[in-house]
Amino acid sequence: MSAGAGGGMLPALALLLLLAAPVAARRHAPDLREDEPARRTTRPAECQFGKQAKELGSTWFADLGPPFGVMYCIKCECISVQKKRRVVAKVHCRNIKNECPEPSCDTPVLLPGRCCKTCPGDVDSPDIVQEDSPTVVITGGEEEELSMKHFGALLTGRSPLCIRRDDMTGVAVAPGVATARFTFRRRHLFWSVLLGPSIVTQPRSLAFLDRGGRMLLEHPLKRSPGIHATYEEKTDKLCGVWRRVPREYKRLLRDGSLYVALIWGDERNNSMDKALSGRINRYPALSTEMFTTLLEPEHPPASIGNGACDDYRTLGQEGGWWGGTAIVTGAAGAAPSLHLAIIYNGIFTLSARDQSVRVLLTLPERNQTIIDEIQKVPKPGYEMNILEVSTPVSAAELRSLSRGRLLLAVQEVGTVERRIVGPVRQKAACEVYHACLVAERAPASPAPEGLALIYIDKEGSLVYDIQVDNLGISDPKITLVEEQGKRHSQVEILDTRVGVLARPSARIFPPLYEDQLAVHIGADAGPPILRGRLLSRSLPDAAGLGPALLRRTDARTPTTLTPMAGLAWLSVDSLCGIQYEVVVTGATGAWSSWLETHSGSTRALGGAEGCVLEPAPAELAALQAGTAHLNVRAADNVTQLLRTRVPQISVPPSCLPTVPWTSDNELGAGYSPTHVEAPPPDNSLTNTASCYYAGRFYEDGAQWMSTESCQMCGCVHGVLRCDAVRCPRVTCATPTIQPPGQCCPICTNSTTAVWNESHGCHLAGQYHAPGSSWHPYLVPDGYDLCAVCTCDFATRQVRCPRVRCPPLRCAEKDAYRPDKKACCRVCPEEKIKKVEEETPKDQGAPRTAEEILAEGGCKFPDGPLPNGKEVHPSIHSHGEQRCVTCRCKDGEVTCVRKRCGRAACARRRRGDSCCACARHRRQRAPRPAPS
């Protein structure tokens, strides 16, 4: 029995029935594909059983919950399954009762937590060892620094990997050069990609593959609203993270057998038109990288990149564009120096054996040469070559380096036709730097607090955002200070709290990258009032609006104790998990973090960093609306120390299947604002995010109905949103009426009923008359037209069933939704045949593959199959498989193995050799009595 990686735990009784009779379960399983959500392009590299993540290769016993508990005879494991060219994780459970060995004694016993009866000394029982998968909640500790590993990749046309589609056809190699950086932190692999100037179209996805070209994980490259999109736009980087990398894939990473690829194609059907790949390796000096260079051919090839990758495996032909990348480290101080680690290929001709490489680092605007060095390469490699160069530099040259004015070139000595060049730019890794700002001494109440966020853009400028509260100074002095032990030296002065420092000093980069740069805030003279050290943080996917400042609550600690400050990062990944990281400075004892939604539900978050694998829909809706709160409590889990409202987070549409999702928070084109008197939202820390409507204030996240104008309104981050009431269609046996205070007609069998709030239904703070129907209203998305709620006239109970979609009259792949808020998919209209199409064709003429597929045919290794055709597949090494029958129906191929009944199995010698018969255990003869 197998369960998909994305599904939850099966009900206890259903799992027992499936294990008892798998054939019957499969025979009567209903087709659950009606109105299913869109397929996610991200394939998980782990299994999900219940609310626990299981790593590839792990085994465990099924825990069915009350009243069954742990079933020690049902052993589950997370296995990798290859689906065409992709590898996915899948749960496989089996009953091990029949695998129990024969006990070696006459009186075996059944020990607690065991399935098989054993005797003393038995070690071969299948239920002895249980390998639980590692927990996915990661707590802070000193092991973090030990788990930091750095890797790099050079993506060119000389990659040894040939990427193929599901039908085994090769994908064309994309022209251009790219480079990637990888940081392995705890169990997550953070990645960043720099595209060369010649790549003008952004790829649709990034994929990880093994040596055989099998796709292990595919990550869509869609910019999520918030700091993630802003960072990518300001730095020209592609950023993301592969969360919870399995041990099996970590071995591939360590052995140099893991590849990364950029894929171009149509997002709607996940096609692969072209790809650019490279091997992930350990490069020199990656841990100390400060600047990066991407090297492209100075004279790009014009005749490469037109065919599939198979065309490039012919000896003597080029495999696509060549190029390189350089890892640059600059050291300031009394004797500034520069170190370059250059990874490159393709600058040598095919006949080159022992050649020399010339490295040129120049300042073109001053016609100045900083490095001109020649190194000999004994045996040039086709895929990758590495060389290192070090030289002393002046402070002015180091300053030009930090401002992106230097140009690096690599060429074969005496040959300039294949020269590769590129400017030196900022570090390739996607990193931001944050700090909790705490008071230097015990201040008067209320205590000041704040946070700082800094990153470097593509121009080498310093982008900063500093938030403070209760500072008590109108014009504070903000200073960046290098802290080395007790020695503090000022590096830069920031004029404003939010801004861009266009020409930062070169001295700022070494302490920033080494976590030795701090932010000091205070008056012009005297010690700082607030300070905090900037720490590096890899930017994940979908990081919302950035960190949120954890402010003190009314139950604050006394000011005589160590001042506290904190910040929180929250995001929702593509698999609907809530990723969180809470940083607290100044806490003297244990603390815990909690997530609260506007509905009043509270969830404890395990540790300072981790993931909530299966959040409730209300939690995701609250994060999307910006109405959730995060608070830090003391060791008693009751006393609140710090609290913040989580900024609005963009939740992937596939995570909210019951809520129509829109990509922005703007009103529809037909909406005309009325009664809008609220000012623009204030982004300061003291913003209450309330809305003003018709003479009163409403809290953030509140919703209400205006019966005068029949509009439903909501407050989203201090912005008022109103939509006209959408009335569902009602079908009544009796005439409908519209009572006072109601905007929609209702069904009732009484015309003298009392219409007040004590005789009706209440949902989300709204009163609904008995017999009324309405669509649920969700902030900030508006009406959910796929559900209709009714208030039963007799019982006063609310029911909100989903709209049942009619069966489709076309293939699943052809159905579509006419608009974003449509509940059901529809079939495309049949095209009117042209006159030439109505002309009968020669029935004897063979049909083309395009015609077969257009009529509902299927792609098949042996050629396209017509719709309804049944064939026996063929395997190259084994010939035709007569026991397997494949059938094409509406573009999908289904293959089944022939099964036989008990009677056929009894006469198997005379019957069909394809029968799959179950084996029955023989009854062992009783042992003879001892004499």
Task: Write out pLDDT tens, residues 252-276.
Answer: 998 899 999 999 998 888 888 899 9
Residue entry with tokens 């309330």 = 690
501 has pLDDT over 60: yes
Contact 520, 435 (CB under 8 A): no
pLDDT class of 139 with cuts at 50, 70, 90: very low
Q: Report d(CA 662, CA 624) in Å as an integer.
A: 11
pLDDT digits (tens, 9 = 90+) for 589-603: 888 899 988 656 788
pLDDT (tens digit per residue) in 192-246: 999 999 998 999 999 999 988 889 989 888 777 778 888 888 999 999 888 888 8
For residue 389, name the pLDDT band (cuts at 50, 70, 90): very high
Helix (H) or strand (E) run with residue 754 in it: none
DSSP codes joined into one string, 65-94: -TTT-EEEEEEEEEEEEEETTEEEEEEEEE
Res. 834: pLDDT tops 60: no
Per-residue pLDDT tens over the stretch 562-584: 678 889 988 887 778 888 889 88
Average pLDDT over the chain reads 76
Count of CB atoms within 10 A of residue 485's CB?
A: 6
Structure tokens at 749: 């069998």
Residue 410 in this model has a pLDDT that exceeds 90: yes
Percentage, residues of the chain above pLDDT 90:
17
Give this prediction's pTM.
0.64
Q: Quick one: pLDDT band at residue 686, thresholds 50, 70, 90?
A: very low
For residue 344, the model assigns a pLDDT of 93
Please report which confidence band the pLDDT of residue 681 belongs to, taking 50, 70 and 90 as the band edges.
very low
> Do 480 and 437 form a contact (C-beta atoms < 8 A)?
no
Q: What is the mean pLDDT of residues 326-350?
A: 86
Q: Residue 179: its pLDDT value, please? A: 96
What are the DSSP calls for 816-868, one per residue?
Answer: B-SSTT-SS-BPPPPPPPPHHHHSPP-TTSPPPHHHHHHTT-B--TTSPBPTT
pLDDT in tens, 283-319: 999 988 999 999 999 988 876 655 677 645 544 456 6
SS3 619: helix
pLDDT of residue 844: 53
Rg of the chain (C-alpha set)? 33
Mean pLDDT over residues 368-386, rounded? Answer: 89
* pLDDT greater at residue 610 or residue 686: 610
Task: Give 443's pLDDT tier (boundaries 50, 70, 90).
Answer: low
Cα–Cα distance for residue pair 598/628, rounded to 1 Å: 6
Which amino acid, residue 627?
A: T
Whether residue 67 has pLDDT greater than 70: no
pLDDT at 703 over 80: no
* C-beta separation of 100 from 126 below 8 A: yes
pLDDT digit string, tens, across residues 23-61? 333 333 333 233 333 334 455 677 877 667 777 878 888
What is the C-alpha to C-alpha distance for residues 339 and 293, in angstroms, rounded to an integer?
A: 13
CA angle (721, 727, 732) in 5-degree steps: 165
Mean pLDDT, rounded, for 361-372: 92
| Cis amide prior to 840 (ω within 30 degrees) | no
